[in-house]
Amino acid sequence: MPESAAPFATRAGLEAAWARRAALHEDPDLDVYRLFHGHGDGAPGCTLDRLGEGWVATGPEAWLAELPALLREMGQAPAWLIGRARPGPGTPRLLLGSQPPERVTVTEHGLQFDIEPMASRNVGLYLDTRQARQWIREHSAGRLILNLFAYTGSLGVAAAAGGARGVTHMDMQKRALRRVRTNLELNELRVDARDLIAGDLYVHLRRMAKGSRRFDGIILDPPPQVPGRGAHRPSGQDYETLLPATLPLLSPGGWLLCFFSRRNQSQATCEAAIQDAASVPLEVIHRGTSGDDFPEADANAKLSFSAFAHRA
């Protein structure tokens, strides 16, 4: 089917997706979520995200070309609409409205996050982990939390906002940790440079395990491929290597939150692999997925996350 005739290029498809998100539109405390999600909304490869007053779309050129007119027909007028073509380099460009500022602050259930609308890849916030942030916020009070592969720190910010007595953020990139600081400051949360650790996480974890510091909650969200590992570059989220380095830092009674993005494996299969590889007894205490704004016909295609308790 030619791109111009694809079902995503219809006003009816966009309006149906809009209607399915009525509860999100009406939430006064939320202005960042997915408006249109490829597979689940009938248009594989196409997405449309709300980021405060503006929107960001990704997908084939034909869809990006038609989208502004479709939105006008629907009576939708975001302050700006940025398009990134996929497949391809995806260089961001303005499709509708005025040029957005370089940085924008968005709100998710009372928390504020700094994003970059014109970023060539992720704008600085993974929208599909909103449910996980809520769980973390509800289960961090009084706990010492370790946020691994922190990126811009949204999960750790949720922990701090939930009353954690301390949150340590670790990431390979110093630039990401600068964004962590910004997000903490936006939410008027304590910032301590000693809690922002950049560099090779594998090295840092081994060093930390030799000390006495332990954590009551560990957030482990490794990327599909960990950069900077040379000839030993791991792939597939690398839980097999990370768990032996991470679990010695988890206090008995603490929780470990793991994210799974292996589309060919069920959440139960991923959980079993974590438990089999663990050096301590882990019990699943919570299962979650991305929100209703990320519909998928195949449940295994949704981002999922599981919380495990360290049972002494």
Q: What is the pLDDT of residue 56?
A: 96
Cis peptide before 87 (omega within 30 of 0): yes
Residue 44: predicted pLDDT: 87
Full DSSP string of the chain: --GGGSGGGSHHHHHHHHHHTHHHHT-TTB-EEEEEETTTTT-TT-EEEEETTEEEEEE-HHHHHHHHHHHHHHT---SEEEEEESSS----EEEEESPPPS-EEEEETTEEEEE-TT-SS--S--GGGHHHHHHHHHT-TT-EEEEES-TT-HHHHHHHHTT-SEEEEEES-HHHHHHHHHHHHHTT----GGGEEES-HHHHHHHHHTSS--EEEEEE---SB-SS-GGG--BTT-HHHHHHHHGGGEEEEEEEEEEE--TTS-HHHHHHHHHHH-SS-EEEEEEEE--TTS--SSGGGS-EEEEEEE--
Q: Write out pLDDT tens, residues 29-79.
A: 999 999 999 889 988 889 999 999 999 999 999 899 999 999 999 999 999
pLDDT tens digits, 185-200: 999 999 999 999 999 9
SS (H, E, C) 49-86: EEECCEEEEEECHHHHHHHHHHHHHHCCCCCEEEEEEC
Q: Alpha-carbon distance 58 to 243, whole Å?
A: 35
Question: Which domains are assigned to the chain?
Answer: 3-115 (3.30.750.80), 127-310 (3.40.50.150)
Closest listed residue to residue 117, CA positions, set 61, 167, 79:
79
pLDDT (tens digit per residue) in 151-209: 999 999 999 999 999 999 999 999 999 999 999 999 999 999 999 999 999 999 999 99
pLDDT exceeds 50 at position 231: no
What pLDDT is attached to residue 230? 44
Residue 235 in this model has a pLDDT that exceeds 60: no
When mean pLDDT is compared across 76-90, 132-146, 170-184, 240-254, the lowest value belongs to 76-90
Q: What is the mean pLDDT of the chain?
A: 91
pLDDT value at residue 120? 82
Model confidence pLDDT, tens digit, residues 261-272: 866 789 999 999
Q: What is the DSSP annotation of 90-114?
A: ---EEEEESPPPS-EEEEETTEEEE
What pLDDT is attached to residue 262? 67
For 249-273, what is the mean pLDDT?
A: 91
Over 90: is that where the pLDDT of 236 sits?
no
